[in-house]
Amino acid sequence: QKEVEQNSGPLSVPEGAIASLNCTYSDRGSQSFFWYRQYSGKSPELIMSIYSNGDKEDGRFTAQLNKASQYVSLLIRDSQPSDSATYLCAVNMGPSGYNKLIFGAGTRLAVHP
Amino acid sequence: SAVISQKPSRDICQRGTSLTIQCQVDSQVTMMFWYRQQPGQSLTLIATANQGSEATYESGFVIDKFPISRPNLTFSTLTVSNMSPEDSSIYLCSVGQGPNEQFFGPGTRLTVL
């Protein structure tokens, strides 16, 4: 069974702090990894994708990937109340060339003023 | 990214009936997918909608229950057949763009009484 694991939270951080969201996955052959943000009652919104080991930065967001440890994380710097949402980690676990995303259960983030 | 619309946005249905959900994209896309998000849960892939051929279903989902059409590169439908209260979920279509990225439509919230 191919799995993606996330801590369900809630993760509560004060405004301005760094929020750190973590994800592990079971399929060592996975090559592409994604973070989606989902506000309550809305559909998931892609915020980051990462394919290579190391860090990838986009504005206040940094995705980190360690394939050896089968671990991917998302850092949100200068957290704002508007960042309060559920963050879904998704891993492409399809065969080469086949786009099949497996989603984690999501981590609920609460940023308080 | 592509603009994706779904119809209906929500519906309340009686058990034993069927509902067809439409997904329209504003540009041609090769890959279209259907997901289910049950209350409080993460996303589960139902099937990949293939243009010109039968859909590819994931384990636990069958064509008789979830028939899918994909008549062209901008449109797909998912039918939820012979509904029961356990089918109450949000149904989401997504489209594949770029290297493995997927973008989601707004979703259809289905309640079965």
Q: What tens digit of pLDDT does each residue of B87-113 get?
A: 999 999 999 876 678 999 999 999 999
pLDDT value, residue A25: 95
Search chain B and give the residue with CA nearest A89: B42
Q: What tens digit of pLDDT does each residue of A30-77 get?
A: 889 999 999 999 999 999 999 999 999 999 999 999 999 999 999 999
pLDDT value, residue A5: 95
Check CB contact under 8 Å for B103 and A46.
yes
Smallest Cα–Cα separation from B104: which of B86, B85, B87, B91?
Answer: B91
How close B106 gets to chain A, by Cα (Å)?
Answer: 5
The 10 Å CB-count burial string (b at 16+, else e) for B80-98 is bbebeeebbbbbbbbbbbe
Beta A85-92 vs A4-6: how paired, if at all?
unpaired
The 10 Å CB-count burial string (b at 16+, else e) for B36-45 is bbeeeebbeb
pLDDT value, residue A96: 60
pLDDT value, residue B52: 81
How close A103 gets to chain B, by Cα (Å)?
Answer: 6
How many other C-beta atoms can be found within 10 angstroms of the C-beta atom of residue A9? 15
| Distance of alpha carbon A23 from alpha carbon B39, whole angstroms | 21
Q: What tens digit of pLDDT does each residue of A96-105 get?
A: 656 788 999 9
